[in-house]
Structure 1
Amino acid sequence: MRTFAKIALIVGLTATGYYVYTGLTGTDEFAWLNGWLIAPVLLLTVVPILFSLSAFRRSFGESMAALRGDVPAEFAGAPIGMGTVVSTARTGLSINDQPQLDIVLDVDTPEGRGFRAVARHLVDLTELGAVQPGAVLPVRYLPDGRVVLAVDAPAYELQAALDRIQLAKGHITPKQLHIAENGLDAQAVVLAMNPTGEVRAGRAVIVLTLRVTRPDGTRFDVTQEKTVPPGALGQVQPGAVVRAKYLPYDESEVTLLVNP
């Protein structure tokens, strides 16, 4: 009864192609589309932190895991956007004790457009928390503004959409997207984290000093200014070990794959 559709996102953490919404970002302006995700996928300012797709999924992962169903034929192949839940209301219809909800969403598209829409979907009673206000869900949308939840979308399509949305919103740069998609996987230890006292677009601006371990075991240090979502600050405290990506021919920028 609960065969849940999954999104493999990122909001890019995570997660990895370009890693998500979803997340730490370097202020070259790491902050989809992470993507977001993630990802990985997921990133904003001088040097980005990306959300991998897995991070994207973990941040609001259970949201899509709780949702299932078929996408109407007219939405097959429609572009994907990311919708932030504003509110929900029951339509009065229930099927097998699952209420149908009208889910009001603020949708962001890869083209940089934003609009409000309503997605109608059946949700299990035990999973109503998946569509609480603030949850981020991928949707397929039509030119007339109609949307459905993108429960049919494969991971790579979700990640690509998340990455492009983040790019369109100015949360990541083309270079940061390139790092997320083509960089080498590595690990980084946070040596220092210093708040600047600045808040930018709801994110704290911090200066991170990282020691990155290359795949061959050698290391290099880098200091970068980043904008960090409030929920990710605990993951970049001194001593924390995080996943990272970097370009072997340019170690001046590093993306961190963290949970948003």
Structure 2
Amino acid sequence: MRALLLLPLFAGLVCTAIWVAVGLTGDDEFAWLNGWVCGPFLVLAGLPFAFTRGLGGIFGGLPKEFHGAPIGMGTVTGVARTGLVVNDQPQLEIQLRVDTPEGRSFASSARQIVDLTDLAAVQPGATLPVRYLPDGRVVLATDAPQHELQAALNRVQLAKGWMTPNQLRIAEQGVEGSALVLSMTPTGQTGDGRSEVRLGLRVTRADGTSFDVAQDKKLPPVAVGQVQPGMVVRVRYLPHDESEVAVVTSLVP
């Protein structure tokens, strides 16, 4: 009986490994599983480690008080093992700085069982979706569908000033394309640790033609290495207004 109960878990972990491997190529509908994207910069939310959905079902899911709680974005500030191990997978105490769609920020922590192969998803600097309560308690939002995570991440960045209303419109209504990074010039750093850079991009349209655009961006540290000159990045843009694009990057280190 115990073996039968664990079969869905093992199957889920195998599927997750396949999805992540495919996601790393960036050429598939499951590419968002490789991490989140962000942007003043864009925000297409995807759970950095989808396996937690399956674990949540086997180990009890979200506590009842978190059902329907609002979603915020938690930046990992520290990680420690609690000593609990379930099926050889450690439980982690994940320290977080949580930002809410209302513009509030607070420190909190969440406990989660994490597969050893997915530890990179919870390293300091990574961004994880959480459900939070008025008293500051949080849990990882392993139950939320992608569109709900997308909307929450967009609103958090808008509230923090990392995204303008026009950039939000690009994120929600823009078409997808690719862009070659022509140049990346650091211009400063924000008070919250983001890097200010000026990007030169050559964007390829769906019909194969291209246009150049230069933009100032405020990037989280994990995104800087993904926009180096010569790299090709995913973007969104409005066909009737190509003066600004949203760049897609992973929020997982």
How far does the alpha carbon of each residue in 1:174-193 deviate from its partner, in whole angstroms, 9 at most, with x for none? 11011011012122222333
Number of aligned residue pairs: 223
1:50 aligns with 2:42: yes
Give distance in 1, aligned partners of 2:63 and 2:83.
21
Q: Residue 39 of structure 2 aligns to which amino acid in structure 1?
A: L
Q: Is the 8 A contact 2:162 2:218 kept in 1?
A: no
Q: 1:228 aligns with which of 205, 219, 223?
A: 219
Give distance in 1, aligned partners of 2:94 and 2:220.
25
1:152 aligns with 2:143: yes
- Bigger proportion of residues as helix: 2
Structure 2 partner of 1:143: 134
Q: 1:236 to 1:76 in 2, by over 3 A?
A: same
Give distance in 1, aligned partners of 2:230 and 2:87.
50
1:1-260 alignment, distance < 5 Å: 1-2=9-10, 3=12, 37-38=36-37, 42-44=38-40, 49-53=41-45, 57=47, 61-62=48-49, 65=51, 68-69=55-56, 70-88=61-79, 93-124=84-115, 130-196=121-187, 198-201=188-191, 202-260=193-251
Normalised by the length of structure 2, the TM-score is 0.72
1:130 Cα shift?
A: 4.4
Q: Residue 43 of structure 1 aligns to which amino acid in structure 2?
A: G
Q: Residue 240 of structure 2 aligns to which amino acid in structure 1?
A: Y
Q: 1:128 to 1:211 in 2, by over 3 A?
A: closer
CA RMSD of aligned residues (A): 3.4
Q: Residue 177 of structure 2 aligns to which amino acid in structure 1?
A: A
Higher relative contact order (CA 8 A, sep 6+): 1
Q: Is the 8 A contact 1:90 1:102 kept in 2?
A: yes
Q: 1:127 to 1:240 in 2, by over 3 A?
A: closer
How far does the alpha carbon of each residue in 1:160-216 deviate from its partner, in whole angstroms, 9 at most, with x for none? 1111111111111111011011012122222333333x2234333332222222222
Q: 1:133 to 1:199 in 2, by over 3 A?
A: closer
Identity rate, percent: 57
Structure 2 partner of 1:27: none
Normalised by the length of structure 1, the TM-score is 0.70
Structure 2, unpaired ranges of 5+? 1-8, 21-25
